[in-house]
Amino acid sequence: MARESDGARRTESGLPLDPVYGPDALAGWDAAEQLGEPGAYPFTRGVYPTMYTTRPWTMRQYAGFGTATESNARYKQLIANGTTGLSVAFDLPTQMGHDSDAPLAHGEVGKVGVAVDSVEDMRVLFDGIPLGEVSTSMTINAPAALLLLMYQLVAEEQGVPAGELTGTIQNDVLKEYIARGTYIFPPKPSLRLVADVFRYCRAEMPKWNTISISGYHMAEAGASPAQEIAFTLADGIEYVRTAVAAGMDVDDFAPRLSFFFVSRTTLLEEVAKFRAARRIWARVMRESFGAKDPKSWMLRFHTQTAGVQLTAQQPEVNLVRVAVQGLAAVFGGTQSLHTNSFDEAIALPTDKSARLALRTQQVLAYETDVTATVDPFAGSYVVESMTDAMEAEVLALMRRVEDLGGAVSAIEHGFQKGEIERSAYRIAQETDRGERVVVGVNRFRLEAEEAYSPLRVDPEIEARQGARLARLRASRDSGAVASALAELRSTAGGSGNVLYPMKTALSARATVGEVCGALREVWGSYVPHEVF
């Protein structure tokens, strides 16, 4: 939150924030049109009539590091501590479609998530975890289809039918071109793969959320709240258009769309952001795409507290930040929540810090009264006014994307990336000048920081994963793998759904790198254009 030279405060999105709000802030405001009832169009007050009054949000802790065995142990600890949903972090080689023994994977295996090279790793990852009873979210994008199919194969080995599985794959490749960079294929075949996932899950895994359209990573790159919502919803529109163009009825897939947003310490603006996002999406789906099913109008979302706001200085202060951010997400009506561990600005979370992050959610759910009533801020002069202002700003940005031809064309023009970079630069300048206070960084500093012992990943993991891959390749039926990969290349070159031959290849123990390599041969690899 920054101040102008005249002392006036503005929100993170640059909107004016007045010191006092009264009835005049809502003059001419139509409560029935703008607000509605909880669980009813336009869903400003939440997507469900009772929200948390009957059950709290899903407490979903994001975890994954090193080997599948190590991550499996962490998942079991989280479940024992009360986590109600798992969220899997994959390492960079897996995210980029490379095996752990590939030259490009060197030095990155198991570092920012778990290494998964084949269905055998997925089997170890979920060993002893009943997949018919937990909801699992997987933060994976370009190779999302592969990890989904591996999860299905492991579940079927446990005796759980695919139709009973619940969870989410992120599967949002468009934001990779904007903010994160873990893309593999060019946009057009990437969108085809997303549509194939929609069709596959419609037929085989109807309870699975096929995409989590993400603004979180844009926010981590510096996007303002308004930019985060505008560019995320613009991506969502592109996915819907792609599926409709592929012959799908909007109501056949839209109810399984979900979103993923950040929650910052600026509590009031974050609440307004979430409310505005629901209202805009409901109107887009009903008015622009003609969706008839009310579930198609609902913007359901997962929230993660803001990693970019965590500091390595005085890291315990992050416990306070995360509590405020989590509260903002709950007031905003999130469906599930991950609270960051206080030490994540330094290294991977320790067992203790991960447990404290979960306990933060449990305090909010069970020791406060925020779950006693639906949408506590409804009718608030300041929040309703901020929601309207946020909606107007978001719609203006979305129109600029449309004027460039839609999300993909705007990406090719470098529009979203350029806007986010300007926002990030502004934040950095405000922080450097002291206009934006960061406790422990530019104010309230300590002369000497206390020593802290972070969790470190074993550097031998890469060698062990390489040995696992060597044993897998020596023991499998190489002819069956070659045949399955050939069928995958053939389907990728045509118009069939690639997930079916992909599942056959993965079942034959083809690796992530081999499957992605087969698709690269047909679809090519994305090379970003320089934007001047």
SS3 content of the chain, % helix, strand, coil (to 5): 50, 10, 40
pLDDT at residue 532 is higher than 60: no
C-alpha 337, offset from chain centre: 11
Mean per-residue pLDDT of the chain:
95
Does residue 166 sit within a domain? yes
Nearest to 457, CA basis, from 112, 73, 66: 66
Give me the mean pLDDT over the 342-364 stretch. 93
Does residue 354 sit within a domain? yes
Between 6 and 121, the more confident residue is 121
The residue segments making up the domain with residue 94 are 47-433
Cβ(327)–Cβ(351) below 8 Å: no
Virtual torsion, Cα 127, 129, 130, 132, nearest 10 deg? -100
Predicted local confidence at residue 455, as pLDDT = 72
Q: At what angle do helices 499-507 and 512-523 cross, to 10 degrees?
A: 150
Residue 434: CA atoms inside 13 Å, Cβ hemisphere, count? 4
Predicted local confidence at residue 478, as pLDDT = 97
422 and 498, same domain (yes or no): no
Predicted local confidence at residue 2, as pLDDT = 62
Nearest to 122, CA basis, from 103, 95, 102, 146: 146
Distance CA 257, CA 295 (A): 10
Residues linked to residue 213 through DSSP beta bridges, in sequence order: 259
pLDDT confidence bin for 315, thresholds 50/70/90: very high
- The reply to whether omega before 42 is within 30° of 0 (cis) is yes
Cβ(65)–Cβ(113) below 8 Å: yes
Which tens digit of pLDDT belongs to each residue from 175-206? 999 998 999 999 999 999 999 999 999 999 99
Cβ(511)–Cβ(469) below 8 Å: yes
The DSSP symbol for 439 reads B
Distance CA 336, CA 14 (A): 28
Give me the mean pLDDT over the 342-356 stretch. 91
Which tens digit of pLDDT belongs to each residue from 282-294? 999 999 999 999 9
Count Cβ neighbours within 10 Å for each residue of 386-403 and write b for 16 or more, e otherwise: bbbbbbebbbebbeebee
The DSSP symbol for 529 reads P
pLDDT at residue 247 is higher than 90: yes
The last residue of a domain, from among 412, 433, 454: 433
C-alpha 266, offset from chain centre: 20
Q: At 209, which helix (H) or strand (E)?
A: strand 208-209
pLDDT confidence bin for 3, thresholds 50/70/90: low
Distance CA 43, CA 52 (A): 15
Give me the mean pLDDT over the 390-398 stretch. 98
Residues linked to residue 348 through DSSP beta bridges, in sequence order: 455
372 and 505, same domain (yes or no): no
Q: Residue 349: CB partners within 8 Å, gap ≥ 6?
A: 63, 341, 343, 357, 455
Does residue 23 sit within a domain? no
Distance CA 276, CA 48 (A): 16
Does residue 224 sit within a domain? yes
pLDDT at residue 386 is higher than 90: yes
The last residue of a domain, from among 407, 433, 459: 433
421 and 502, same domain (yes or no): no
163 and 282, same domain (yes or no): yes
Which tens digit of pLDDT belongs to each residue from 108-150? 999 989 999 999 999 999 999 999 999 999 999 999 999 999 9
Does residue 100 sit within a domain? yes
Nearest to 272, CA basis, from 377, 396, 419, 424: 377
pLDDT at residue 443 is higher than 70: yes
| Beta strands per DSSP E along 316-471 | 336-338
Tell me which residue has tokens 């069939």: 496
Give me the mean pLDDT over the 525-532 stretch. 72
Does residue 519 sit within a domain? yes
Q: At 328, which helix (H) or strand (E)?
A: helix 317-332
pLDDT at residue 530 is higher than 70: no
Cβ(491)–Cβ(497) below 8 Å: yes
Which tens digit of pLDDT belongs to each residue from 450-463? 787 777 778 899 99
413 and 494, same domain (yes or no): no
371 and 512, same domain (yes or no): no
Predicted local confidence at residue 421, as pLDDT = 96
Which tens digit of pLDDT belongs to each residue from 395-405? 999 999 999 99
Domain count, the chain: 2
CA torsion through residues 283, 288, 294, 296, sign = negative
Distance CA 154, CA 157 (A): 5
Range among 17-26, 116-125, 350-359 with highest mean pLDDT value = 116-125
490 and 349, same domain (yes or no): no
229 and 373, same domain (yes or no): yes
Give me the mean pLDDT over the 212-231 stretch. 97
pLDDT at residue 5 is higher than 60: no
197 and 307, same domain (yes or no): yes
Q: At 305, which helix (H) or strand (E)?
A: strand 301-305
Share of the chain above pLDDT 90, in %: 90
Q: At 174, which helix (H) or strand (E)?
A: helix 174-175
Nearest 5°: the CA angle 465, 170, 45 is: 145
Predicted local confidence at residue 208, as pLDDT = 97
150 and 274, same domain (yes or no): yes
Return the CATH number at 341.
3.20.20.240
236 and 341, same domain (yes or no): yes
- Both tokens assigned to 351: 């067992």
Does residue 17 sit within a domain? no
Does residue 27 sit within a domain? no
403 and 327, same domain (yes or no): yes
Which tens digit of pLDDT belongs to each residue from 462-508? 999 999 999 999 999 999 999 999 999 999 999 999 999 999 999 99
